[in-house]
Amino acid sequence: MAAVTLLSTRAVSKTYGGLKAVQNVDFILPKGEIRALIGPNGAGKTTFVSMLCGRIPVTSGVIEFEGTDVTALPDHKRISLGIAYTFQITSIFANLTVYENVALAVQRHHVGSDKNLKIQTKIALARVGLHPFSDQTAGDLAYGHQRLLEIAMGLGQTPKLLILDEPTQGLSDGEIDAFKTLIRDVAQTTTVLLIEHNIDVVMSLADQITVLNFGEIIAEGTPAQIHANAAVQTAYLGGDDA
């Protein structure tokens, strides 16, 4: 049975003056997959997913989500369609409690009683292991826990697609192991697009890997295929960024 496409791009590009950050990227992400997006620093990874989310406009090309052209939609409209994301720089509400941060995210998606809001918020916190920190001010959390809070905020929206940019940055080894368990659980119901520099995490989690370099896709395949790819070895895995 053929895989159902959740997200796709056709010839998507982003230029800043004379700088080509992303160049004519054709990308297909099937439902139910954990896809890793890797590449050297400056390869265009965050620019690309920022276009997918609607945080920045494309210069040219088309983005489709569940068969609908979303190229011109702003980010909040894409969130309502089921795209949730966390980025390299944490975007929590530092002065609110951990619980309040997640409750706000849940409230954006779920319409219902206060009881249901509380239940969904507690479920999202429990999934990332932050339930014991519910009453703590978010800005006082350790950086690694702030990253997990962002993931909880994303999960609270019950997304169809969860995009994570460098989610293990700042996490301890034990927290990384817990993160991998979490993502495997999330992937049972949610498609995951993961930008990650930790190659061990990528190789152990991803079903498929897409490699960007200088704003272009240079390889796609399984972890084993990517690990054996000479072009990837030269551009990334064998370099200083591995």
28 touches 38 (CB < 8 A): no
Q: CB under 8 Å, gap of 24 or more: what pairs does 14-20 form?
A: 14/44, 14/47, 14/48, 14/51, 14/56, 14/58, 14/59, 14/215, 15/59, 20/214, 20/215
pTM over 0.85: yes
Confidence of residue 137 (pLDDT cuts 50, 70, 90): very high
Nearest alpha carbon to residue 129 among 117, 142, 116, 139: 142
Rounded Cα distance, 43 and 196, in Å: 13
Domain range for 67: 5-80+196-242
Q: Is residue 209 part of a domain?
A: yes
24-75 pLDDT, tens digit per residue, is 999 999 999 999 999 988 899 999 999 999 999 999 999 999 999 999 999 9
Angle between helical axes of 173-186 and 114-127 (0-180°, round to 10): 130
Least confident of 122-126, 169-173, 188-192: 169-173
Position 240 scores a pLDDT of: 41
Number of structural domains in the chain: 1
Q: Is residue 48 part of a domain?
A: yes
**Residue 29: CATH number of its domain:** 3.40.50.300
Q: Is residue 21 part of a domain?
A: yes
Rounded Cα distance, 66 and 83, in Å: 11
Joined together, the tokens standing for residue 179 give 């993160």
Q: Is residue 107 part of a domain?
A: no
The proportion of the chain whose per-residue pLDDT surpasses 70, expressed as a percent, equals 93
Position 11 scores a pLDDT of: 98
Q: Is residue 29 part of a domain?
A: yes
Joined together, the tokens standing for residue 20 give 């080509």
Position 242 scores a pLDDT of: 33
Q: Is residue 118 part of a domain?
A: no
Angle between helical axes of 98-109 and 114-127 (0-180°, round to 10): 120
Helix (H) / strand (E) element for 62: namely strand 60-65
Q: What are phi and psi of 128, to 5 degrees?
A: -100, 5
The half-sphere exposure of 141 on its side-chain side, counting CA atoms within 13 A, is 30
90-100 pLDDT, tens digit per residue, is 679 999 999 99
Q: Is residue 190 part of a domain?
A: no
172 touches 180 (CB < 8 A): no
Rounded Cα distance, 99 and 80, in Å: 21
Residue 24: C-alpha distances to residues 60, 216, 240 (Å): 8, 7, 27
Q: Is residue 25 part of a domain?
A: yes
